[in-house]
Structures are given as structure tokens and as C-alpha cells.
């Protein structure tokens, strides 16, 4: 594989060099420039260009911490190819501790964007046209929203063989078959022929060390497989292959009240098993919530209060034996 010319944000990325560039699209009301750091390291040896992103939603701290640790520990210094890290893609939402952009739009429904559109659309357009053309593989780290705690999982469209292969190598506890949704970064990457991995784990406004560890170790496995991880670093310990989930269903609250989950995420539950209670604040009402099917719990609503009809557990409906891919 020959060394190709890589020019990002008007900067030539030379072999054997590292860069910290500024992806700058807008300013605050005070005219203060907003910096979205783009941290790039390129090896002298040819190889793929891998992009690691976090914080596509401003309240998704776990994803930001995964990419931060990869940088801090030096895993982003490849022995071949190029690694681009953007730990906080939605810096506007991060500063305001909100999921959305200042214009109220979800950045992950704004791709591929428009040059003269909304602020989120303009940002997406610039990202798609100035960063993505140079990228071969994207690892995008996300977190559950609205008090919903996601078990660590990879989501992948199984019709894309390269993405599925790398998702199996990542070895998150769960590998969920999931189609791409128009307007998302995933849809845009797939339409452009990029290999894309979506990691989900934990919930918004929270940094969970166990979720972060799964994300960092998975990224290391993928980089090692691509011959990019420096040989000086130890490989993550062997873990069981991912449990493949082909479909899942939400269990919804039958009553409004205080919500008390009784089982942790990732647990295999049986149909009819007692998994939570819903009570009133006055001690006169107590409803036992039972699982409506046998499956793994891949999401738990951790809100202390729920309304009738709220999604409270996400349970696998069709899961197979763990893949044997290493």
C-alpha cells in the first residue's frame, strides 16, 4: 500500500508527524471562536485512515471519555496508517450540557448537511466534505439518552460485511443487527462506502468506568487487527465473543409511579420473571413488573419515576449463540 497525500483542513498530514487542528464552523454570541480539536497522528508506514469520534450528542460523556483515554494512553499513535480523533464532535452541546446544537437540532439527524442550512446542517456539511473524504473506517462512540442505560453494544447493518467483521473483532458484550437511519452519521458514512462501527454504552450525563473500559479495549482490538496498534501495548484480555441480537422489544410501564428496577443490564431473564416494581409515593400501591419474554436486558430505564407507557426495559427477542470471530 503506497503512501497517499492526505490534506485535512488545509494542512498536509505528513508521514511520521502528529497534528492538532481546529475544525471551526461558528462562534458564540460573544464572537468567541469555538474550537473543535482534530487530533491526527500518521505513521511512516502506509495503512488505513481510522476516525474515532465521541460527543456527537453533547451529553454523551462515556463516548468522549473513550476517545480521550485512547489519546491519553497513546493508542492513537499508529505503527501504520493514520488515526484521527475528534473526542467532542458536538462542542456546542457539550458546553451547554445538552444533546442538541444551539439551534435545537440533533446533529445526528442533520447529515450529510447543507452548505447554507441550519447551524447543525452546516457543521455536518463541513464535516462530511472536509474530514470524511480522507477516512476509511469510523468508530463512533455513543451513550443512551433520557436516563436509559445501554448495555455495552455494537450496532451494525449486517449487510455490510466489513463493518460486521470489525464489529465482531471489537467484542462488545452484544452485537445488535440494526439498519441505518437516514440523517445519521452512520447512514452518510455507509452511503459513502466507509466502514462504520457504532458503539453504545451507559447513559447521558454519566461517566461509567466499566462502559469506557469496554469501548477502549474494543478499539484496541480493532486497531491491532488492522496492524495499527503499536506492538509496545498489551492486547486486551480474552473475552467471550459478542452475543448476536437480531431483534428486540421494549417492555413498557403499565402504571405511572416510582420505578424500582431489580435486575442489572446484560442479564438473561426468563419470561414471567419478576424484574421491577412500580409504586406510588404514599405506600398504598405496589405493582410487580414481570418480563414479557425470555431474553437479555440490553437497556434499563434508570429514571426514578415513570409514566404509563414509558419504555422501561429493552429485551432481546431473537438472539443467537456468540459469534466465533476472534
The structural domains of the chain, with segments of one domain joined by +, span: 7-225, 245-319
Q: Are 48 and 137 in contact (CB under 8 A)?
A: yes
In sequence order, which residues have a C-beta less than 8 Å from that of residue 113 and are 6 or more positions away?
Answer: 120, 121, 122, 123, 124, 125, 126, 127, 128
Cα distance between the two ends of the chain: 25
Give the pLDDT confidence score for residue 164 in this predicted structure: 97
Q: Which three cell numbers stand for residue 148?
A: 436509559
Q: Using an 8 Å Cβ cutoff, are 154 and 198 in contact?
A: yes
Q: What is the pLDDT of residue 33?
A: 82
Asked if the bond preceding 155 is cis, omega within 30° of 0, the reply is no
Regarding pTM above 0.85, the answer is yes
Residues 147 and 262: beta-carbon distance below 8 Å: no
Supply 187's cell numbers: 447512514
Question: pLDDT tens digits for 148-189?
Answer: 999 999 999 989 999 999 999 999 999 999 988 999 999 999
CATH number of 7-225: 3.40.630.10
* CATH architecture classification, 245-319: Beta Barrel (2.40)
Which residues does the chain have with pLDDT short of 70? 1-2, 25, 321-326
pLDDT tens for each residue of 91-115: 999 998 899 998 899 999 999 999 9
Distance CA 219, CA 67 (A): 9
Q: What is the pLDDT of residue 25?
A: 66
Looking at residue 121, what is its pLDDT? 94
Amino acid at each position: 500500500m503506497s503512501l497517499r497525500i492526505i490534506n485535512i483542513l488545509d494542512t498536509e498530514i505528513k508521514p511520521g508527524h502528529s497534528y492538532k487542528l481546529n475544525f471551526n464552523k461558528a462562534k458564540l454570541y460573544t464572537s468567541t471562536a469555538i474550537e473543535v480539536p482534530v487530533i491526527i497522528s500518521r505513521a511512516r508506514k502506509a495503512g488505513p485512515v481510522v476516525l474515532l469520534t465521541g460527543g456527537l450528542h453533547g451529553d454523551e460523556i462515556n463516548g468522549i471519555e473513550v476517545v480521550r483515554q485512547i489519546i491519553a494512553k497513546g493508542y492513537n499513535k499508529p505503527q501504520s496508517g493514520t488515526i484521527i480523533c475528534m473526542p467532542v464532535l458536538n462542542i456546542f452541546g457539550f458546553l451547554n450540557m445538552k444533546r442538541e446544537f444551539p439551534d435545537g437540532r440533533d446533529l445526528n439527524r442533520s447529515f450529510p448537511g447543507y452548505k447554507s442550512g441550519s447551524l447543525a446542517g452546516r457543521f455536518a456539511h463541513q464535516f462530511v466534505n472536509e474530514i470524511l473524504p480522507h477516512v476509511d473506517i469510523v468508530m463512533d462512540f455513543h451513550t443512551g439518552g433520557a436516563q436509559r442505560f445501554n448495555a455495552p453494544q455494537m450496532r451494525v447493518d449486517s449487510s455490510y460485511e466489513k463493518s460486521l467483521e470489525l464489529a465482531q473483532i471489537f467484542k462488545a458484550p452484544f452485537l445488535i443487527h440494526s439498519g441505518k437511519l437516514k440523517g445519521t452519521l452512520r447512514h452518510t458514512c455507509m452511503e459513502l462506502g466507509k466502514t462504520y462501527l457504532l458503539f453504545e454504552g451507559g447513559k447521558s450525563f454519566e461517566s461509567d468506568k466499566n462502559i469506557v473500559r469496554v469501548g477502549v479495549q474494543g478499539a484496541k482490538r480493532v486497531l491491532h487487527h488492522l496492524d495499527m496498534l503499536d506492538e509496545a501495548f498489551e492486547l486486551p484480555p480474552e473475552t467471550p465473543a459478542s452475543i448476536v441480537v437480531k431483534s428486540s422489544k421494549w417492555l413498557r410501564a403499565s402504571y405511572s409511579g416510582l420505578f424500582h428496577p431489580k435486575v442489572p443490564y446484560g442479564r438473561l431473564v426468563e419470561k414471567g420473571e419478576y424484574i421491577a416494581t412500580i409504586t406510588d409515593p404514599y405506600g398504598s400501591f405496589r405493582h410487580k413488573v414481570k418480563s414479557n419474554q425470555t431474553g437479555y436486558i440490553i437497556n434499563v430505564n434508570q429514571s426514578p419515576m415513570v409514566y404509563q407507557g414509558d419504555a422501561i426495559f429493552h429485551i432481546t427477542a431473537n438472539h443467537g449463540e456468540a459469534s466465533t470471530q476472534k
